[in-house]
Structure 1
Amino acid sequence: MTAAVVRDGRLPVVGKKAAPDVLHLPGGNPDAGEEPLAALTREPAEELGAAPVGPRHSTDIEAVAALEGVPMRTTVFVAEPDRAPAPAAGLARLRRTDGLDPGLRLAPAVRGHLLPLLGDRGLLPRPRGGRARRRRVAAAGPRRLDGAAAGRSAAPRGTTRPPRAERPGPAGRPPPRGQVRGGPG
C-alpha cells in the first residue's frame, strides 16, 4: 500500500537508511489480518509521521522492487496528508520531486509507471516518452504490468509467471531444499 500525495506538482518520495539514494513512495505491506486501508493509514504514519486523509484508489502497479530485484505489486492511493511529512521509522531522506530531476534514482514502479500516470492525469509534468506504461488488472485475471506490453514476458497474455522461488529448477526440478531463487517473494 502506498500513498501518492501530489502538491504543487511535486510528489514526496523516500529513501531507506539501507539505500538512501533509491527513492520510492512511502508505504508497505499490510500486517497479518490487517485491512488494506488500515495499512494505508499506519504505514505513512510510521514512515512520515503523517496519515493520509481522503485516500482514493489510483492504480495497481506491478514492477521490479528497486532494492530486492524481485517482482512486486503495489496499490497506489492518492491522498492529502494530515500534517507536514518528515522522515521517521527507517527512512534516511524525504524529497519532493516532479520526476524530471536529472540524476534522481527512482524505483522502477515510480519512474516507469506512477510518474507517467500522474502526468497523464495532469498532476505532474509529463516525463519524456509520453503516456504511462500501465495496465489495469483485467476482470478475467491478473496481468503483468512490468514490461509485458513491450514483449519482454514469456507468459501468455493475460497471465502472470510465478515468482522465481516457485519456478522449477533445471530439468523441471524445484530448487534444492533451503535454496530460494530470486530472494524473498
Structure 2
Amino acid sequence: MKVVGFAGYSGSGKTTLVERLIPALKLMGLRVSVVKHAHHEFDIDHPGKDTFRHRQAGAFEVIVASDRRLALMREFERPARMNVHHLLAELYDGVDWVLVEGFKDSNLSKMEVWRASAGMPARYPDDDFVVAIATDSPGALPQPTLRPVLDLNDPDGIARWLADNGHRFDYDPEMYT
C-alpha cells in the first residue's frame, strides 16, 4: 500500500483536498482508505442502538458488520496515544492508497496544504517529511523550495502526481517498528 500524509493548519483545506482526491484516485481504478486524527471526543454510534448498548455495558470492542459495511469501535480504559502507524496496521492490506489527515508531526511522507490567506506559517522549511506543497498561492510561499508545488484547486492533477510518484509512498510497516 502507498501512504501519504496531508499536513497543514486548520482552515488550510486538508479535508477538502482529501475529499476531492478520493474520487480522482478511484477513477484511476485505485482503492482508497483514509486515516483521520481527531483532537476531541467523537462518536459514530447512537444511544439506543444495540452496539451503543454493548459499549455502555463495558465491551472493549464492538464490531458491527453487514454485507456492505464494517465498523469497529474500541473503548480505551484510559487515554491511549495511538500513533499513525498503529492505525495503519488496523487497515485492510488490500488498499492501494491511504490518505492520512491530521498527523502533521508524523514521520510519514506528506504533502503540505498551505494557503497564504490562512495567515499561518508554512511547515515545509522545518519538516523534512514534506515532499510536496499543495497551495493556491505559490507566489506567496515564504521561501524557495525544490519540492514540487502543486495547484491546491486541481485535485485531478494532484492525483496524477501521486500516481506518477507512487514509488515514493510505498509503506513498509517494518520501517516504523
Fold match by TM threshold 0.5: no
Which structure has more RCO (C-alpha within 8 Å, separation ≥ 6)? 2
Structure showing greater radius of gyration is 2
Q: Could you state the TM-score of these two structures normalised by the residue count of structure 2?
A: 0.27
- Per residue, is there more helix in 1 or in 2? 2
